[in-house]
Amino acid sequence: MKQLTRALIAVLIVSFILIITVNKLNAAQGYSGGNTLTIFNWGDYIDQDLIKRFEKETGIKVIYETFDSNEAMLTKIEQGGTSYDIAIPSEYAIDKMIKEDLLIPIDHSKVPNLKYIDPRFMDLSFDPNNDYSVPYFWGTVGIAYNKAMIGDIEITSWDDLWDPKFKNQILIVDGAREVMGMSLNSLGYSLNDTDEKHLIEAKEKLDLLTPNIKAIVGDEIRMLLENGEAGIGLVWSGVAQEIMWENEDVEYVVPEEGSNLWFDNMVIPKTSKNPEAAHQFINFMLDPEIAAQNTEYVGYSTPNKGALKYMDEEVISDDRFYPDEELTAKLEVYENLGKRMLAYYNDLFLEFKMHPK
């Protein structure tokens, strides 16, 4: 009898340990709703002190994971293996997620701090009425250039990059939309153009830029420009700002022909096990003081008009990163062009990358 009792106790202990272990694993993977919030965001794209503050104020435990591309984020959410409560994709990915029915509508009554978002950044083409997303950060694509390296030259337009005096001095990001968009804008076309004749024209113009290109690179473009490995770079505004913090010789300009206006917005995937906490978190991040603190940490431009009064005047008056309405009107948000047209953009970009120097 004693042996049977010991065996039963042993089984109970092992079962208890297994339950605890499984629960911990589930929580770590975001499978548990309850009092847990699982956030999926770009790397180094939030002040971690704010997560601790949210946990302290709400008692909700945050599990935080990162991705390095919209495509990687989409793949994980489409697979549905992890129950993310919040994700922060870019505009064209949001459009795709809406069309593929991957998102829960935002209940605006639970996000009263939405009133602080600048109306310019609401109701955009990728999410009319902001039914599914709330602005987090925004920015532009432009040109970073090192004044000490290229001499007394002021760059103002995309066309300037084709000047032969910049031979082997330009780094560009490895992105089909950004590079094809640059060429389309330089020709006076929309960066969402789908006219194949215009796209071929843009690709042929890119071929002419080849002698000036030093390299087509990924995230390392920041380090290379910081260290003066090249005089000019096609970059996102947030990257440019980080470079400028490290190298005071670097300047940033949004070209006069126009460029891309990008957004990263907060969304609630249908995988969410805790949409209530997701709404709480979104509203928390929209509080003006919270948004200001997060903006100072991340360095990108905030869409939160209420946050501006808590920020350094020198920062918010810098029209390189907070362009005025006249320039903003020239900027375009990337549209989801559909699989066939995106594949065509990628094919042309690949041909350009293979073009002999």
Q: What is the mean pLDDT of each run of 10 residues along the chain (357 residues)?
A: 52 46 45 79 94 97 92 88 93 92 97 96 93 96 96 92 96 92 96 97 97 93 95 93 92 93 95 96 98 93 96 90 84 87 94 88
Residue 324: which residues within 8 A CB-CB, separation 6 or more?
A: none
| CB hemisphere CA count around 349 (13 angstroms) | 20
Residue 83: which residues within 8 A CB-CB, separation 6 or more?
A: 30, 31, 32, 33, 38, 271, 272, 273
Q: Please check whether residue 156 is in contact with residue 234, taking contact to mean a CB–CB distance below 8 angstroms.
A: no
pLDDT of residue 33: 54
Binding-site members are 92
Please give the CATH number for the structural domain made up of 8-138+263-317.
3.40.190.10
CA 74 – CA 59 distance, rounded (Å): 29
Nearest to 331 by CA among 83, 118, 138, 127: 138
pLDDT of residue 13: 52
pLDDT of residue 29: 46
CA 97 – CA 106 distance, rounded (Å): 14
Coil vs helix vs strand at 189: coil
pLDDT of residue 47: 97
Residues forming CATH 3.40.190.10 domain(s) in the chain: 8-138+263-317, 139-261+324-354
339-354 burial: b if 16+ Cβ within 10 Å, else e: eebeebbeebbeebee
Residue 51: how many other CB atoms lie within 10 Å: 17
pLDDT of residue 69: 83
Residue 118 in tokens: 């600048």
Binding-site members for spermidine are 92
pLDDT of residue 31: 44
In angstroms, the first-to-last Cα distance of the chain is 85
pLDDT of residue 79: 87
Q: Domain spanning 139-261+324-354: which CATH class is it, in words?
A: alpha beta
Helix (H) / strand (E) element for 346: namely helix 338-353
CA 349 – CA 8 distance, rounded (Å): 66
Q: Please check whether residue 203 is in contact with residue 255, taking contact to mean a CB–CB distance below 8 angstroms.
A: no
**Region at 44 (left for phi over 0; alpha for psi -120 to 50; beta for the rest):** left
